[in-house]
Amino acid sequence: MNTKKKTIAIIGGGQLGLMIAQEAHNLGAAVAVLDPASDAPAFSEADRCVVGAYDDVDALEKLCDGSCAVTYEFENVPGAVLRHIEDKYNIKQGIAPLLDSQDRLREKANARIHGLKTPDFIPVPALDFMDREDGDGQMPGNPQFPVPLSPQDASSLSGKERQHQLEQAVKVLGMPCVLKTRTLGYDGHGQYVIREDSDLEPASALLKVPCILEKFVDFDYEASVVMVSDGKNTIHFPIGRNIHTGGILDLSIVPAPGLADGLKENASGARIAGACEDFMKSCGYRGILAVELFVKGDDFYFNEMAPRPHNSGHYTIEGCSTNQYRELCRFLLGEPLETPRLLAPTVMKNILGQDLQAAKTIVAESLAGAGPGVSVDAPEDIDNAFCGEAGKGVYVHLYGKTQSRPKRKMGHITFTPMTLREFDEEWAYRFM
């Protein structure tokens, strides 16, 4: 009888890799992790650690050797380098969703092709805007897809040319609109909201690289749908409302307003979830996929996607009957998926560097006087990798990152049962 454990190989050792590894162990699997940083959070939970660059083929080979499945914990893994190993190792999700998510232009076009409404968008800088001086608001050919400049041509534009490009593109879409770099954007980085003419010059600095200009959607709120598919069955987690501060997710509120009756999804929620599941199926994606949407009344618009566990899905660990990490691991291990259900109204609070002291204080207060062997005199006594219940229904996860700085994700706290109003009344002041 072969009793050797199955091994999941994870490209990326951040907090998402840490929580994937924890759930893999809960399911009896071993974990190997690759990360360039020797102090990566997931290394604390890994059975085998590989320190190396993501584009180091030898390091990737070392990571994947002996694994039953390979996954990635963030979407900026160099997709091209995975082509060297995809035929040799079982990258079970494939690299298509990774590549599609790495370019906002391809991502938006792909969403439209496969049935999801998006804000109007165009690439910029583009060949169509090169020689036009007057800008009459019309473009030759298909107005949705002017011919984008290559990265090399974009980098060679002068400041005056970049501003001219942006002015012509804005005349097509109108204001307000949002300029975003096509690649490597996250947490509000690489984007600029254009509301008036004075925004054009500073925003045009982004055009040193290929960008996408999107019509601004005056949405009611942003929502996330996290799904897992094994190719036959697709499950989705309860839809949450996302609240951002400074472009970074601050709170996830579940269930999202208007999308559930009590704890159960209503017709509006089912319509949104169904559209996202249809999109995933139409694309042929498997594994985990998070889709962010702008919700406006009865309408909803695709914003972006991520083929990995999502920050807005952290709440599932305590708020649901199963969680996003566990279902991803079930998929990777070839086990049947479990349909999740919401256990109670839940609020998830992101802990950034500026919130870390408050989070440690909450833990210190819960552990003070906890019994023999527990000595807590100050928040500094709390291990940075604390994970546990800090009071009834208050679950603190600190990721064990060795360096804290403002806006860096250091942990999260899940409150359940909890509504947004209750959070605002009872807890919000702790993080001001």
Residue 260: enclosing H or E segment and its boundaries? strand 260-261
Query: What is the model's pLDDT at position 198?
Result: 97
Query: What is the model's pLDDT at position 286?
Result: 98
Query: What is the model's pLDDT at position 188?
Result: 59
CB-CB contact of 395 with 388 (8 Å): yes
Q: Which residues make beta-bridge pairs with 387?
A: 397
Domains and CATH numbers, the chain: 7-91 (3.40.50.20), 120-215 (3.30.1490.20), 217-329 (3.30.470.20), 344-432 (no CATH)
CA distance 120 to 169: 12
Q: Which residues contact residue 221 at a Cβ distance below 8 angstroms, ignoring those fewer than 6 apart?
A: 241, 242, 243, 256, 257, 295
Residue 211: enclosing H or E segment and its boundaries? strand 211-215
DSSP letter (8 states) at residue 166:
H
CA distance 63 to 361: 38
Query: What is the model's pLDDT at position 2?
Result: 52
Give the amino acid at 154: A
Q: Dihedral through CA 297, CA 302, CA 308, CA 312, nearest 10?
A: -30
pTM for the full predicted model:
0.93
Query: What is the model's pLDDT at position 76?
Result: 80
Beta strands across the sheet bearing 69-72: 48-51, 30-35, 7-11, 69-72
Query: What is the model's pLDDT at position 247?
Result: 87
Phi/psi region, residue 400 (left: phi>0; alpha: psi -120 to 50; beta: rest), is left
List the pLDDT tens digit at each of the 432 positions of the chain: 456 799 999 999 999 999 999 999 999 999 999 999 999 999 999 999 999 999 999 999 999 999 999 999 988 888 888 988 999 999 999 999 999 999 999 999 999 999 999 999 999 999 888 754 444 444 433 445 688 999 999 999 999 999 999 999 999 999 999 999 999 766 657 899 999 999 999 999 999 999 999 999 999 999 999 999 999 999 999 999 999 998 899 999 999 999 999 999 999 999 999 999 999 999 999 999 999 999 999 999 999 999 999 999 999 999 999 999 999 999 999 999 999 999 999 999 999 999 999 999 999 998 876 666 677 778 888 888 889 999 999 999 999 999 999 999 999 999 999 999 999 999 999 999
CA distance 361 to 390: 10
DSSP 300-317: EEEEEEESS--GGGTTHH
